[in-house]
Amino acid sequence: MLPSMRFRNTRHRKKPGSAPGTIEHIGERHMDEIKITVHDYDDEHIDEIPISKIQKVQPYLDAPSQTWVQVRGLHNIEKLKSIWSFFDLHPLIQEDIVHTAQRPKVERYDNCIFFVLRLLTYSKDDQTIHAEQISLVLGKNYVLSFQETDEDHFKPILNRLAIATSRIRKLDTDYLTYALIDAVVDYYFNVLEYIGDDIEALEEQLLKEPDESLLEQIHRIRREIIFFRKSVWPLRDAVNSAIRDESEFISEDTKIYLRDVYDHMIQIIDNIENYRDTILGLHDMYMSYTSNKMNEVMKVLTVIATIFIPLTFIAGIYGMNFDPQVSPYNMPELSWYWGYPASIALMLATAAVMIIYFKRKGWF
């Protein structure tokens, strides 16, 4: 079951006037205990070690291997502070890690590069996009990753690390950072696929059996597209900033791979724009269908009203009740033997003529 995380709906906000670097977890609590896992590797070995205290990572940092420290859970501030203090992270980094409504971004510090990402998943149950903040800290021969839940989002990366001949085992932690960012972007493609399927199903329903529920579905998908766009767009600029950065922490070889991520971001944003245009077109199509349906109803009512106008006129004339005995000009038809059937026949004939005329004109 996916945790329900929507940054736009969170009720936890930073208090106005708080000092920069204020450490307070903003978001939902998804885990009872914070989990710390060390992944230490090089081209000859890989170790996965759960630890309870961050000081136990020191031997791995002293070794010439690469180290990935994976932290899951953000509610225990005291335990997080011990991690931040151990790695000497800037207070603004600490604040951004636990304020889980950040825009995707990249920031450079003296001892590290800090990335904020939004990992998006699509829930088929409620047909909404769920978001989780992922924070990455790239230092010398180590990577720190922070996530809100215990979800195994980076299992594909762990599977690649388990292969001795994989590229990720032979390269430095900047390549691991690229791989983690690329994994997050891969989730975007999955979300795009689900949104595309929803739009196709909506198009088919609109063409076959349009009903009032379609408008609600159109607005739901439109909201998801807007949320998706707002979550993804800043990452494009963040990746571009990392490519342009002259930091010692990202090699030129890794920047080549980051350019590929940047291209993927351009592709994703183009698809989002196409989907947004499509859903707006479906909205216009639905409104046109509704308008045409209303016009058809109004046309039928107008034809019916038009037919009854002369009938009402005839009935009105003979409803004036002038006494024919006072004057021979006062409705002599009232004394006719076939007067009433004749008036009914006149009305029916008038209605029939008008119906035939409207039918030939194609008005109904």
Mean pLDDT of 91-120: 93
Higher pLDDT, 11 or 112: 112
Higher pLDDT, 215 or 362: 215
Supply the angle between the helices 173-208 and 213-244 in degrees, to the nearest 10. 160
Model confidence at 27, in pLDDT bands (50, 70, 90)? low
Both tokens of 161, joined, read 């690390």
Q: 111-152: per-residue pLDDT in tens?
A: 999 999 999 999 888 888 999 999 999 999 999 999 999 999
Whether residue 72 has pLDDT greater than 80: yes
Q: 150-200: per-residue pLDDT in tens?
A: 999 999 999 999 999 999 999 999 999 999 999 999 999 999 999 999 999
Mean pLDDT of the chain: 87
Mean pLDDT of 227-250: 92
Does the domain at residues 294-361 carry the CATH identifier 2.40.160.20? no
Model confidence at 4, in pLDDT bands (50, 70, 90)? very low
Q: 344-355: per-residue pLDDT in tens?
A: 888 899 889 888
Model confidence at 10, in pLDDT bands (50, 70, 90)? very low
From 24-28, 30-34, 104-108, 178-182, the region with the lowest mean pLDDT: 24-28
Whether residue 7 has pLDDT greater than 80: no
How much is the pLDDT for 18?
A: 54
Whole-model pTM: value is: 0.80
Rg (CA), the chain: 36
Q: What is the 3-state secondary structure (H, E, C) of 180-226?
A: HHHHHHHHHHHHHHHHHHHHHHHHHHHHHCCCCHHHHHHHHHHHHHH
How much is the pLDDT for 359?
A: 84
Amino acid in the structure at residue 225? I
Q: Looking at domain 35-289, which of 3.30.460.20, 1.10.730.10, 3.40.50.1970, 3.40.50.1220 is its CATH number?
A: 3.30.460.20
**Between β-strands 105-108 and 66-72, what pairing exists: parallel, antiparallel or unpaired?**
unpaired
How much is the pLDDT for 267?
A: 96
* Residue 353 Rama label (left phi>0; alpha psi -120 to 50; beta): alpha
How much is the pLDDT for 126?
A: 83
* Angle value at C-alpha 106, between 100 and 107, nearest 5 degrees: 100
- Please list the residue range(s) of the chain that carry CATH number 3.30.460.20: 35-289
Residue 302 DSSP one-character state: H
- Please list the residue range(s) of the chain that carry CATH number 1.20.58.340: 294-361
What is the end-to-end Cα distance of the chain in Å, rounded? 54
